[in-house]
């Protein structure tokens, strides 16, 4: 059974700081890993998807890396802004389910960026 863990559960940083969010998974036989953002009471917004053959993906101030062998992924946010305040979740497909859309989610990291 795949288990996804995110550390820390909550993080508060001053504006402008660079930060790293961590995600670990127990079954390294993953096909990809996605990072999502969730604002309070809202749905999820996909930020980055890393295929298993890739080591990292970048979008603007966001950079996500994937190390399958160690079962880890990191999301790096550069020059954080108050608008980045949200809960960040990582998710991996259940490898043996036959579906890339049956995701196992971590519990998320609640990020607060202080002005």
By CB under 8 A, is residue 103 in contact with other proteins? Answer: yes
Let me know: does 11 contact 111? Beta carbons within 8 Å. Answer: yes
Establish if 60 lies at the interface with other proteins (CB under 8 A).
no
| Contact (Cβ atoms closer than 8 angstroms) between residue 17 and residue 32 | no
Q: In the complex with other proteins, which residue's Cβ is closer, 18 or 51?
A: 51
Residue 65 CB, nearest approach to other proteins (Å): 18
Greatest CA span in the chain, whole angstroms?
45
Query: Is 105 an interacting residue with respect to other proteins (CB under 8 A)?
Result: yes
Residues of this chain, 29-48, that bind other proteins according to CB under 8 A: 31-32, 34, 36, 41-46
86-93 and 32-38 as β-strands: parallel, antiparallel, unpaired? antiparallel
Verify binding: residue 71, other proteins, rule CB under 8 A. no
Contact 36/46 with Cβ under 8 angstroms?
Answer: yes
Contacting residues toward other proteins, per CB under 8 A: 31-32, 34, 36, 41-46, 49, 51, 89, 91, 93-94, 97-108
């Amino acid at each position: 059974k795949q288990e996804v863990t995110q550390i820390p559960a909550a993080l508060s940083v001053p504006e402008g700081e660079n930060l790293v969010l961590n995600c670990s998974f127990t079954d390294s036989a993953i096909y990809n890993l996605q990072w999502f953002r969730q604002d309070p009471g809202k749905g999820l917004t996909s930020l980055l998807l890393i295929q298993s053959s890739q080591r990292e993906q970048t979008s603007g101030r966001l950079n996500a890396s994937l190390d399958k062998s160690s079962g880890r992924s990191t999301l790096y946010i550069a020059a954080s802004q108050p608008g980045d305040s949200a809960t960040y979740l990582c998710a991996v497909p259940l490898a043996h389910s036959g579906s890339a859309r049956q995701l196992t989610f971590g519990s998320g990291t609640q990020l607060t960026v202080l002005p």
